[in-house]
């Protein structure tokens, strides 16, 4: 099996772990770049992938195709699962866009993106809605408290056992610290799927440039999109209100407020037992707030590695996590 065939198989194996078969375009867009594969040195065209998918006798030993969707042999049932999850995701998207539209009112917010299973259109019925939020630098704690209060007051914040269709505010970064330091195949695939639902002009492009390390894991990232069907246009009136609030807090009072909000939130985070749970990651500082105490990263990569080894590609089943709590 040649290098491109191995990359295609690797990509299908990874998404098989997620229960999500792929179209040929998706294989192209999220094609894994394997560290052991050195003969492919630049981006791979969609035509090369189509040729391999249609003509490779070696790849045909491991994958099947039905209705334009590719999957591992014996896994045809996940096609129906994909259709079901797409329908579920469509409903969640309607709610996500409706709520995120009003987050434009929050002071110091610069981008709101959907991540996780919904960004992949692979959400289950009980899934929540994961958000990555970019804030103005030096105001991350203020932005977080206002966002949390708003989502909580409208009864949409995930907490306790209330998860279905609730918003999980689990990741904040600032516009001056856009680079995600936690590198792995899992995070590369996750952030490649990120959907910027609302943003100040150019913010997502800055995020992509700051995270060019994703190219170390995926051949064809970034594909700079001119727009997204799910993108919400900025509402002028909301922007006026947001800027008015920011002007009010761009004073000594805002600096003091940021200081006290940081102290209060840090104290609460440190007292939370989940902060120190093994197998996850909780980061809290002035540049990044990440709350993934139950990260699925390790389990997904472990399943991926085991599948690659089972298929006879032990050398390709060596992916490591991005540095979770031991």
Query: Per-residue pLDDT tens for 195-238?
Result: 999 999 889 999 999 999 999 999 988 766 554 545 788 899 99
What local confidence, expressed as pLDDT, does residue 227 receive?
47
CB-based burial label for 159 (10 Å; 0-12, 13-18, 19+): exposed
Q: What percent of the chain has pLDDT over 70?
A: 94
Q: How many whole angstroms separate alpha carbon 262 and alpha carbon 254?
A: 12
| Nearest one of 139, 140, 171 to 253, comparing CA atoms | 139
pLDDT tens-digit map of 247-269 = 999 999 999 999 999 999 999 99
Q: What is the mean pLDDT of the chain?
A: 92
Distance of CA 16 to the CA centre of its chain: 17
Q: How many whole angstroms separate alpha carbon 41 and alpha carbon 219?
A: 9
**Residue 52 near residue 8 (C-beta atoms within 8 A):** yes
Using H for helix, E for strand and C for coil, what is the string for 227-277?
CCCCCCCCCHHHHHHHHHHHHHHCCHHHHHHHHHHHHHHHHHHHHCHHHHC
What local confidence, expressed as pLDDT, does residue 223 receive?
64
What local confidence, expressed as pLDDT, does residue 125 receive?
95
What local confidence, expressed as pLDDT, does residue 216 receive?
92
What is the total residue count of the chain? 326
Q: How many whole angstroms separate alpha carbon 174 and alpha carbon 182?
A: 16
pLDDT tens-digit map of 150-189 = 999 999 999 878 889 999 999 999 999 999 999 999 999 9
What local confidence, expressed as pLDDT, does residue 229 receive?
45
Q: What percent of the chain has pLDDT over 90?
A: 85
Q: Where in the chain is the domain with CATH 1.10.10?
A: 3-75+298-316
What local confidence, expressed as pLDDT, does residue 183 receive?
95
pLDDT interval class at 292 (50, 70, 90): very high
What local confidence, expressed as pLDDT, does residue 298 receive?
95
Q: What is the CATH number of domain 3-75+298-316?
A: 1.10.10
What local confidence, expressed as pLDDT, does residue 42 receive?
55
Mean pLDDT across 285-305: 96
Mean pLDDT across 263-286: 95
Do strands 129-135 and 281-284 pair parallel, antiparallel, or not at all (unpaired)? Answer: unpaired
What local confidence, expressed as pLDDT, does residue 38 receive?
46
Q: Does residue 40 carry a pLDDT above 80?
A: no
Q: Does residue 43 carry a pLDDT above 70?
A: no
């Amino acid at each position: 099996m040649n290098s491109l065939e191995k990359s295609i198989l690797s990509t299908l194996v990874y998404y098989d772990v997620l229960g999500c078969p792929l179209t040929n375009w998706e294989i192209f867009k999220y094609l894994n770049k394997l560290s052991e594969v050195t003969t492919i040195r630049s981006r791979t065209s969609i035509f090369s992938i189509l040729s391999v998918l249609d003509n490779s006798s070696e790849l045909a030993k491991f994958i099947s195709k039905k209705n334009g969707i590719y999957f591992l042999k014996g896994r045809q049932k996940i096609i129906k699962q994909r259709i079901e999850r797409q329908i579920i995701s469509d409903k969640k998207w309607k709610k996500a866009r409706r709520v995120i539209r009003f987050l434009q009112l929050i002071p110091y917010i610069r981008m709101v993106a959907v991540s996780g299973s919904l960004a992949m259109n692979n959400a289950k019925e009980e899934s929540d809605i994961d958000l990555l939020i970019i804030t103005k630098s030096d105001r991350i704690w203020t932005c977080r408290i206002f966002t949390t209060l708003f989502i909580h007051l409208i009864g949409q914040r995930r907490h306790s056992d209330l998860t279905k269709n609730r918003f999980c505010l689990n990741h904040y970064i600032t516009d001056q610290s856009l680079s995600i330091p936690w590198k792995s195949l899992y995070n590369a695939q996750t952030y490649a799927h990120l959907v910027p639902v609302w943003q100040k002009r150019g913010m997502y492009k800055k995020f992509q440039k700051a995270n060019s390390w994703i190219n170390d894991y995926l051949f064809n990232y970034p594909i700079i999109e001119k727009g997204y069907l799910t993108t919400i246009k900025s509402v002028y009136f909301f922007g006026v209100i947001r800027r008015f609030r920011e002007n009010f807090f761009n004073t000594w009072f805002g600096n003091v407020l940021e200081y006290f909000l940081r102290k209060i939130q840090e104290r609460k985070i440190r007292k939370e037992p989940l902060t120190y749970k093994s197998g996850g990651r909780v980061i809290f500082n002035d540049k990044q707030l990440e709350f993934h105490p139950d990260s699925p990263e390790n389990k997904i990569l472990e399943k991926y590695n085991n599948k690659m080894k089972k298929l006879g590609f032990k050398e390709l089943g060596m992916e490591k996590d991005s540095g979770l709590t031991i």
